[in-house]
């Protein structure tokens, strides 16, 4: 069993390393393809595509060049020719629904591109063996570039939630409460409802959404996938209140004891030698 576990772990690590290594190339390959497309060098574009792949074997080159010309016109019409690019995601999808799976030995890559005012998203399917493009398209996204000031300000507010939860956990640890691990779990998991600020869509909230990472989650993968979410720390607030009440009661009990001692009658009779 140990050998099988080590073998599976090694295979997993090697697969992940290969995936990460390929991911580093995908943004550059996508950018090179689009810049070549904008120069109308369609022959070079075809060289950058995985034409030897089974999915592309029966493709007519003249038809492909006509499609590339239309694709170029679409980009120029909506975003112009001076573009900047940033990597968003690279993923392999495994689903029981066959149509949602990525084809074998391929990776779906999303790259954000933008001009001075608007941004869009390119989605490219890469062949893992050649690291070349099998298919590329723009998603139906054309949004004004958002200001990120409010996004980062909201992030400062959101980060206060895990700080508060960690503070409460430290208070629990220092207390004499029993079964502390149950309290830790309650503080870490009971964070709802959730409030989200997304760079593009702005502020929203979900009543029955729990944030399990000490009350916060976030994403920063292009404007479209940039968000901060925090949950109201119900578990932390409850145990902070309980510990405060417990402390006040202990102080009150100690004060009563001191008062009782001070009010006891003293015997001033002289001692008999």
Three-state DSSP string of 195-251: EEEECCCEEEEECCCCCCCCCEEEEEECCCEEEEEEECCHHHHHHHHHHHHHHHHHH
Half-sphere exposure of 56 (CA within 13 A, CB side): 19
**Digit-coded pLDDT (tens) for 135-147:** 999 999 999 999 9
Cα distance between residue 216 and residue 159, in whole Å? 7
Query: What pLDDT score does 267 carry?
Result: 56
CB 44 within 8 Å of CB 10: no
**Digit-coded pLDDT (tens) for 206-215:** 988 888 888 9
> Do you know the residue count of the chain?
273
CA 113 to chain centre: 20
Spatial neighbors of 210 by CB under 8 A, at least 6 apart, are: 189, 190, 191, 192, 194, 231
Query: What pLDDT score does 21 carry?
Result: 54
Return the CATH number of the domain spanning residue range 2-144: 3.10.450
Query: What pLDDT score does 20 carry?
Result: 57
Kindly give the interhelix angle for 2-38 and 61-79, rounded to the nearest 10 degrees.
Answer: 80
Query: What pLDDT score does 239 carry?
Result: 94
Delimit the domains of the chain by residue range: 2-144, 149-251
Q: How far is CA 88 from CA 23, 48, 108, 135, 264, in A?
A: 10, 21, 11, 17, 75
Query: What pLDDT score does 22 carry?
Result: 60
Give the largest CA-CA distance in the chain.
126
Report the chain's mean pLDDT, rounded to a whole number: 85
Cα distance between residue 162 and residue 191, in whole Å? 10
**Digit-coded pLDDT (tens) for 130-179:** 999 999 999 999 999 999 999 999 999 999 999 999 999 999 999 988 99
The proportion of the chain whose per-residue pLDDT surpasses 70, expressed as a percent, equals: 82
**Digit-coded pLDDT (tens) for 23-71:** 668 999 999 999 999 999 999 999 999 998 888 878 899 999 999 999 9
End-to-end CA distance of the chain: 86
Q: Nearest to residue 233, comparing CAs of 185, 188, 172? A: 188
CB 232 within 8 Å of CB 189: no
């Amino acid at each position: 069993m140990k050998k099988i576990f080590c073998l599976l772990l090694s295979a997993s690590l090697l697969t992940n390393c290969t995936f990460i290594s390929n991911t580093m190339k995908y943004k550059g390959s996508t950018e090179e393809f689009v810049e070549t497309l904008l120069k109308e060098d369609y022959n070079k574009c075809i060289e950058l595509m995985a034409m030897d792949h089974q999915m592309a074997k029966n493709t007519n080159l003249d038809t492909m060049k006509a499609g590339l010309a239309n694709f170029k016109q679409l980009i120029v019409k909506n975003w112009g020719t001076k573009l900047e690019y940033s990597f968003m995601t690279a993923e392999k999808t495994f689903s029981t629904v066959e149509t949602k799976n990525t084809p074998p030995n391929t990776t779906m890559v999303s790259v954000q591109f933008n001009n001075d005012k608007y941004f869009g998203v390119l989605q490219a399917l890469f062949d893992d063996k050649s690291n070349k493009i099998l298919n590329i398209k723009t998603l139906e996204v054309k949004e004004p570039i958002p200001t990120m000031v409010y996004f980062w300000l909201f992030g400062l507010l959101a980060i206060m939630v895990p700080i508060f939860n960690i503070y409460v956990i430290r208070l629990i640890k220092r207390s004499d409460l029993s079964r502390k691990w149950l309290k830790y779990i309650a503080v870490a998991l009971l964070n709802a409802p959730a409030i989200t600020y997304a760079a593009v869509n702005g502020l929203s909230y979900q009543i029955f959404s729990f944030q399990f990472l000490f009350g916060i989650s976030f994403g920063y993968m292009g404007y479209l996938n940039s968000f901060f979410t925090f949950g109201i720390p119900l578990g932390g607030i409850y145990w902070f209140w309980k510990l405060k009440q417990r402390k006040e009661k202990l102080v009150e009990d100690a004060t009563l004891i001191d008062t009782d001692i001070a009010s006891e009658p003293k015997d001033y009779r002289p001692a008999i030698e």
